[in-house]
Structure 1
Amino acid sequence: MERVHSLRMMSRFLLLHSLILISLFIAAATANTSSTITDRDALLALKAHITHDPTNFLAKNWNTSTPVCNWTGVACDVHSHRVTILNISSLNLTGTIPSHLGNLASLQSLNLSCNRLSGSIPSAIFTIYTLKYVSFRENQLSGAFPSFIFNKSSLQHLDFSRNTLSGEIPANICSSLPFLDYLSLQENMFHGAIPSNLSNCTYLRILSLSYNDFSGAIPKDIGNLTKLKELYLGRNRLQGEIPREFGNLTELELMSLLENDLQGMIMNFLQFYSSLCLHLYSFVCSSIMLHVLLFFLSD
């Protein structure tokens, strides 16, 4: 009798356990489906904001008859099936960027470069916790820096170059971007001083601020960016002398400072040598000039 009772208890336990597992499986499947629909709707919102698609790329490749993860320009996580990569660059698309893209909660890489997108950059995009790579290069975007960008500690690559963005770079730009290694704002309409806080982006390898309207002195704190390999500050209204702290940039390979209002003996050297370089192989000459300059600054 006792054995029968034990078997009944065991059967009830196994049945309960099975029901719990089935419930969890159904809940997970439902959540996955819901998340996939959220991602699909975000991408369809982007498609709806495109007013001209000369190659009919989106019309041919983005439709509800196929899973989102099979759409051209989209990649997904193999387990969650959430969108992790969105790349629709160089398609000559005209339109605006919807805030719905902020619903792509697992997005890691966003590349909308080389199109004709206009309007502002939605702050909602920078609420995505996983975002590491963003490129809006060569569009017609306007307005100031997105306000939420400074909460994105995951960002590593940020390219806003060749747009019509304006305003000042916020002084705290690097306070919450500890892993940023690429920052390009060149060929925009930014003005004001270059923030000394850029020195807090200690992983920066490439910093490009050329072809803007920056003024004032070059912050000596940039000399603390010891991982920097390329530095472009040309075509602005910068004044004063080149900081001697640049002598700390031992990894630097390329640098442009010309067409500013910089003065001093070091700048005279650069101007003389760059003129001489016109008659020589430019890359070799520039490399020699840079190494001589860094040696002089570190002396």
Structure 2
Amino acid sequence: MMSRFLLLHCLFLIFLFIAAATANTGTITTDRDALLALKAHITHDPTNFFAKNWNTSTPVCNWTGVTCDVHSHKVAVLNVSGLNLTGTIPSQLGNLSSLQSLDLSFNQLSGSIPSAIFTTYTLKYVSFCRNQLSGAFPSFIFNKSSLQHLDFSFNTLSGEIPANICSNLPFLEYISLSQNMFHGGIPSTLSNCTYLQKLSLSLNDFWGAIPKEIGNLTKLKELYLGRNGLLEIDNISNLKVLYLYNNRLQ
């Protein structure tokens, strides 16, 4: 009887091991496919970065620009910045379910920002600065309670900043939307981003008064609002840096 019990116990452990291995293989395959989708969306790679460094014969976690979680072996960091890449951003990057940091800055990527990217609930850091991205501010980003750093600066994004930008972003510390084509008023609801330390909105077409509610952001240290059409400023304190050049302040 005891030997039968031990046999069943061993078989059960083997089953669990196989199930875990199968699940892990599926996850790795999903991550690999998401990265290969990015590679496929690149139309010009002047340094042959992907051809040299992203080879399906080697594990994804060994690819240059990719860092995996040491426990789950899932992609946690993706950094392909500064490569002068031309192409678009694929929605499949949203399948990187453990992604914490995404840096595609200093390239020549165009098109819109896929909302699917922001379905990853672990995402903390996003930088798409200095590309040629267009379209409106991605609405799905408001479900990203984990997000801390957001940089869309130096693109051609347009429209207004949605009033509910901070409703579901309680831990956001850094926002840079400078050098785009945003317009309208600066939302007073930015005061709901209570952890905000740096806010950069320079080189757009914002107008009206700088909301006095921004003065309630006790952690805010840097505020960049230069080259807009702003008319008034009030109740701004605790700042170490305040940049207001080329406005219409009265």
TM-score range, shorter chain: over 0.9
Whole-angstrom distance in 1 between the partners of 2:233 and 2:209: 8
Q: How far apart are 1:87 and its partner, in Å?
A: 0.2
Q: Which of the numbers 222, 229, 234 marks the counterpart of 1:237?
A: 229
The 5-angstrom pairing of residues 256-275 of structure 1 reads 256-263=243-250
Q: How far apart are 1:169 and its partner, in Å?
A: 0.4
Whole-angstrom distance in 1 between the partners of 2:32 and 2:123: 18
Q: Which of the numbers 171, 178, 193 marks the counterpart of 1:186?
A: 178
Q: Name the SS for the 2:246 alignment partner.
A: coil
The 5-angstrom pairing of residues 49-198 of structure 1 reads 49-198=41-190
Q: Structure 1: state its 5+ residue gaps.
A: 1-7, 264-299
So what's the TM-score if we normalise by structure 1? 0.83
Q: Which of the numbers 221, 241, 246 marks the counterpart of 1:254?
A: 241
2:214 corresponds to which residue? Answer: 222
Q: How far apart are 1:70 and its partner, in Å?
A: 0.3
Can you list the C-alpha shifts for 1:101-147, whole angstroms capped at 9, x where unaligned? 00000000000000000000000000001000000000000000112
Letter of the 1:216 counterpart: G
Does residue 1:209 correspond to 2:201, yes or no? yes
Does residue 1:15 correspond to 2:15, yes or no? no
Q: Quick check: which has more Rg, 1 or 2? A: 1
Q: How far apart are 1:34 and its partner, in Å?
A: 0.5
Q: How far apart are 1:156 and its partner, in Å?
A: 0.1
Identity of counterpart residues, as a percentage?
Answer: 80
Does residue 1:34 correspond to 2:15, yes or no? no
Whole-angstrom distance in 2 between the partners of 1:11 and 1:201: 62
Can you list the C-alpha shifts for 1:41-85, whole angstroms capped at 9, x where unaligned? 000000000000000001110010100000000000112110000
**What is the CA RMSD across the aligned residues, in angstroms?**
0.7
Is contact 2:211-2:233 (8 Å) kept?
Answer: no
So what's the TM-score if we normalise by structure 2? 0.99
